[in-house]
Structure 1
Amino acid sequence: MMGKYIQDSKVINQAFSITYINLNTSTSVDEIGGQGIAKYLRIVSLFFKVLIQLILIRPHFTYMTPTAGGMGFYKDWPLAMICKLFSGKFIAHFHNKGASNYQDSKVDNWLYRRFFNNTYVILLAEELYADICKYVGRERLYICPNGIPDPYQELVSKESNEPLKLLFLSNLIREKGIFDLLQAIALLKKDNIPVQCDIVGGDGDISEKELLEEIALLDIKEQINFLGKRYGSEKLQLIQSSDIFVFPTYYRKECFPLVLLEAMAFGLPIITTTEGGIPSIIRNEENGLIIKSKDPQNLSLVIRKLLYNKEMRSLLGKAARKDFSQEFTLEKFEQNFLRNIEQIVLKEQ
């Protein structure tokens, strides 16, 4: 998504002469992370496509958004090496993490050292530096938070729902904390606290069937509305109609969740954790509430706190909206991105 924003940005494309190559080798969501002869052939074809463009263009800089570890990194590594060979300087912009999970392997350590050698790195948040600090000095490190188009130009007061509506928006991945949220809602029901929760997202490592079985087991069918996948204006309408956004993630690959920016854009009070770069987005009791992950009991208490404190919901939501409009719009991302690239260019002159 962020790559598409860059490609479509008039501001960025007016500042530099850019040739774009799509490095995606999967033809569907289900194929991501998979293998097969067809996919290997597409990787080989992509390698030669990049090589030909490098020979023809001889760019001053090459910019890449690589995968930080695993099979994706092995695919991206030879592409990075030929970019370094045929261009002046190499910039790696990471939208994921995972290098620290592989760096103890002798093979991966060797690959990382050559990948990061003489490489400028852009990260989404300061907290993510720990993932690559073994290979990258701070003199080659730049921070550029993501931003999204503002879907809600004017914040409008809405009538309170009865009961208040929670929203969970993510694919059904266990480490996103979805089962913790269900258990927290079961605890609230046990104490006769009225609450409704919309769950929006497609299958991950949890299927719809498994989710519904867990909901039935906890006896919270009346409290949960599972909506499956929602996109575009339909998704934004769901965010706008909600009262509290809950994202109790402990996903080890979490970096800079765009769903938090979407919730902030609509002025929702947010409950989340400190995973990845989230502390660069949410500040506890200022523009959201931070909880300890894997703790349904504590999550239920924090939800209860917001349910019964309208003033806190309002203050957190207004602060979230203000921070979004100042720090996390697409326009702000473009400014930060250009500033980082220009600083790298100046350093090399």
Structure 2
Amino acid sequence: MMHIENIGGMASSGAICNGSNGNGNGNGITIITTIRNGQAHWANYFANLTDILGPDDHAVIVDDGSVPALMLPTSFSADHRITVLNPGKIGRAAALNLAISHAPTPLIAIQDVDDQSLPARLPAMRDLLARYPENLVFCDALGPNTAPDDQLRKPRIIPASRLYRGNPFHHSALAFHKDLWREAGGYDGGLECCIDLDFYLRVLAQSPHQSFIFYEAGLIRRHTGHDRQYSRLSPKTYHQTALMVRNRYRAKLKPPVWSRAYDMRHWFRAACAYWHHDMACTATRPIGQKHILALVHLPPPLHGAAAMNERAVHIMAKRHRVSLLPLRFSSSIASIGQSSLLKYGRAAFYAFTLLRQVIMDRPDQVYFSFAPSGPAFWRDSLYALILRALRLPVIFHLHGRGLKALRDRSWLAKRIQKRVFKNQTAIILGKALNAEVAGLDCNVAIIGNCVDVQEKPAKLDNPDQTTRPFRILYLSNLIRSKGVDTAITAAGLVKQSLPELHLDIAGAEADIGKVDLKTMLAQAGLLQNSTYHGAVGANEKAALFENCDLFVFPSRYANEAQPLVVLEAMAHGVPIICSNAGTLGDVVKDQKSGYILRDATDANELATLILKMQENPAARAKMAKAAHETFTAAFHPEIFERALNELFDQQS
């Protein structure tokens, strides 16, 4: 998942930044506001800030492309509590993320520019967040002519299932700890609306035991006029997005079955809006913009294909209108590829949802992360045939291998593949995978994967610097066919010549668990020479790459194509020993940026190459530099973004 502090871009050089970006005073709270035009509300908004901000409070305002640009009143020009950012037009979700990332206090309170906080609001929010630090906290919102009620009430706990009947909360009444926003991944910039509902449900999905805290006191005065901000939205878009957002989190939050009846309201209203839809909206679409339906697997669980899908969706959303249909079949790495009645049920449900979505809001293009093997191939083929029957152009993104092997042993699979891919576009990850789509009569685009750019590794500037003990890193989900067993056996053999060797293993448990891993390490004599780090986050992963001397990846996974972990090693300037699976023989240049194993199961060969690298620090440093240069030249994120945009531009 992308690092939240960078969502929405950085403030432009013209931004007015009078506030601090430090940790701030724990007693303060930061008002977050995004503004796009709505000039009629500016004077009242700033007057309201004068009334409510205490000495430790702050306000961070993002001007989301107002014309003319927002300017601070003279009375606030020297006020250190006010920060105004002018990044240009980036969208409301990105603007919220940008504003929150600049908040100098750990406590956040949302307020739209056309609403007003009553003087009691911020003290009440500070008190509630002190008592409920791990919850989203709301207060009541008053109408423009409603008198506030001073009667004290106890906060109410509202379960997430309440939102399946409708969203009872006003976004301007929200307050929370900044850590909750960071852990949830921020607001989703790929949604046209309902970003607040999506954020609420995502926060609760992180911990199903959480609930909403609702304080039944009117502390926000809500503007309800015809010029209300963010009110210009088609009913069809709202109801379709609301359904999609609820579908995203239903499996995790498990609302009562009867609550599904409320979906009928959205289906009915979306259908009515569709039949009465004013086609003039198509004429107002910006030149070059398309409506793209993204049929993709997204985290969780986190794996290479899901990470690339998430990146692709964010890239497309920058230039096009993207409707998202996330396919969620597995809740953990271990359950990927496993069949179950629940998965079959979900497959049928998604087929119905797909059909309804494309009929109600026909896209110009479909971006489909297609599963090339196993039971998932047959499921995705059904979805593809639905799209073909409706004559929708599809760009298939193949993150793995398996099409060729499947059609070689099944005449039915061969026939279906030809029907699915004929005259469509297939993205493959490298020339080595051309055989996957050979004979399918489709357009082929080669776009390699990418990973985030790292600062230039210090080890590249100090090629003679070595660390002791010699550290080997294996990083991947603990799937046996990914080669962790071979890596452990080889490290055990190396230890006989290099007693101070240390093996770091990181990755989520899958068909190998902690107990199995400990047994394997004991058999190899590595219990005292190894560390299992479990599933690691971005910072832990970066530290492992920076501290290792060598990365090993002897994968024999049948569907291996272009694993991101190898690209991450290259980005960090780490020499690599890996198998020749998928495109790895082209990614890692043998004897230049690392070594390619002739046999991924041969622990003796791997041990020999490890010792060869350990004994020659100068050659190892040269390989590290070559790996980093290859990453920059071929797998940089800008290369991936440019290639994907060019592909969509070429489609008619």
Normalising to structure 2: TM-score of the pair?
A: 0.50
Q: CA deviation at 1:113?
A: 2.3
Pairing partner for 2:417 from 79, 97, 112:
112
Q: Indicate the SS of the match to 2:326.
A: coil
* Residue identity opposite 1:26 in structure 2: S
Would you tell me which structure has more helix in proportion to its own residues? 1
Match of 1:135 in 2: 440
Q: CA deviation at 1:42?
A: 2.3
Kept after mapping to 1: 8 A contact 2:333/2:508: no
* Residue identity opposite 1:119 in structure 2: Q
Q: Indicate the SS of the match to 1:304.
A: helix
Match of 1:91 in 2: 395
* Residue identity opposite 1:107 in structure 2: L
Match of 2:470 in 1: 164
Once the two structures are overlaid, the 10-residue window that deviates more, 251-260 or 55-64, is 55-64
The equivalences for 1:12-161 within 5 A come to 12-103=316-407, 104-136=409-441, 140-150=443-453, 152-157=454-459, 160-161=466-467
Match of 2:579 in 1: 273
* Residue identity opposite 2:364 in structure 1: H
CA distance in 2, matches of 1:64, 1:141: 14
Q: Over residues 274-311 of structure 1, what are the superposed CA-to-partner deviations in whole Å (9 max), with x where a residue is unaligned?
A: 11111231111222221222221111111111101111
Q: CA deviation at 1:27?
A: 4.1
Q: Over residues 51-73 of structure 1, what are the superposed CA-to-partner deviations in whole Å (9 max), with x where a residue is unaligned?
A: 12211332232220110022111
CA distance in 2, matches of 1:335, 1:239: 27
CA distance in 2, matches of 1:89, 1:106: 25
Query: Is 2:474 aligned against 1:179?
Result: no
* Residue identity opposite 1:169 in structure 2: L
Provide the aligned C-alpha RMSD in A. Answer: 2.0
CA distance in 2, matches of 1:217, 1:25: 36
CA distance in 2, matches of 1:68, 1:21: 19
State the structure with more CA Rg. Answer: 2
CA distance in 1, matches of 2:392, 2:523: 59
CA distance in 2, matches of 1:114, 1:326: 36
* Residue identity opposite 1:129 in structure 2: N
Kept after mapping to 1: 8 A contact 2:457/2:546: no
Query: Is 2:604 aligned against 1:294?
Result: no
Match of 2:649 in 1: 342
CA distance in 1, matches of 2:339, 2:499: 48
CA distance in 2, matches of 1:3, 1:252: 21
Q: Indicate the SS of the match to 1:175.
A: helix
Q: Over residues 60-114 of structure 1, what are the superposed CA-to-partner deviations in whole Å (9 max), with x where a residue is unaligned?
A: 3222011002211111112111212224422211001112232122332232222
Pairing partner for 1:317 from 608, 612, 624:
624
Q: CA deviation at 1:175?
A: 1.9
Q: CA deviation at 1:169?
A: 0.3
Kept after mapping to 1: 8 A contact 2:399/2:428: yes
CA distance in 2, matches of 1:39, 1:249: 28
Kept after mapping to 2: 8 A contact 1:287/1:317: yes
Kept after mapping to 2: 8 A contact 1:172/1:201: yes
* Residue identity opposite 1:299 in structure 2: L
* Residue identity opposite 2:424 in structure 1: T
* Residue identity opposite 2:437 in structure 1: I
Q: Indicate the SS of the match to 1:20.
A: strand
Q: CA deviation at 1:228?
A: 2.0
Q: CA deviation at 1:8?
A: 1.8
Kept after mapping to 2: 8 A contact 1:123/1:145: yes
Q: Which runs of 5+ in 1 are unaligned?
A: none
Residues 180 and 31 of structure 1: CA distance in aligned 2, closer, same or farther (over 3 Å) = closer
CA distance in 2, matches of 1:182, 1:28: 24
Once the two structures are overlaid, the 10-residue window that deviates more, 287-296 or 303-312, is 287-296
CA distance in 2, matches of 1:46, 1:283: 42
Instruction: Among all aligned residue pairs of Structure 1 and Structure 2, give the percentage whose two residues are the same amino acid.
Output: 28
Kept after mapping to 2: 8 A contact 1:186/1:218: yes
